């Protein structure tokens, strides 16, 4: 109704029926807000790759790594199996809760996590 009034004005006697164009815009508007809500949920729950939420695929990656000194390249290669991009892996291995940097490009799993 708000879209109808915004487009046609407040003269409801003249424009008393909602046309298909207004209905189409209302559907698009609803879909936009639903998608935004879903993206926000994904970010908060850690399922969106735009942030480092420690979601299932990151935990699976971490658990798949050997308990020895790891090279950054080896972690990146392993991450490809979990559809995790290089930049996201580099951000993930900076997380002190999961990895300890021992030298340039070399890490150990942090066993406190």
pLDDT for 74 equals: 95
- The pLDDT score that the predictor gives to residue 108 is 93
Digit-coded pLDDT (tens) for 10-69: 666 766 677 788 777 777 877 878 777 777 766 665 555 444 457 888 889 999 999 999
Q: Residue 72: is its pLDDT beyond 90?
A: yes
Q: Report pLDDT for 80.
A: 93
pTM of the model: 0.51
The structural domains of the chain, ordered by start, are: 2-45 (no CATH), 56-109 (1.10.10)
Are the beta carbons of 102 and 109 closer than 8 angstroms? no
22: which 2 tokens? 């207004």
What is the pLDDT, as a whole number, of residue 27?
Answer: 77
- Three-class SS of 41-84: HHHHHCCCCCCCCCCHHHHHHHHHCCCCCEEHHHHHHHHHCCCC
């Amino acid at each position: 109704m708000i879209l109808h009034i915004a487009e046609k004005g407040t003269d409801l006697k003249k424009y008393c029926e909602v046309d298909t164009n207004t209905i189409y815009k209302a559907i698009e508007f609803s879909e936009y807000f639903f998608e935004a809500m879903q993206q926000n949920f994904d970010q908060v729950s850690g399922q969106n790759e735009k942030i480092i939420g420690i979601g299932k695929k990151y935990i699976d990656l971490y658990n798949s790594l050997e308990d020895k000194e790891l090279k950054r390249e080896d972690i990146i290669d392993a991450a490809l199996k979990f559809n995790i991009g290089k930049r996201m892996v580099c951000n993930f291995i900076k997380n002190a809760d999961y990895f300890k940097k021992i030298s340039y490009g070399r890490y150990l799993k942090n066993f406190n996590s």
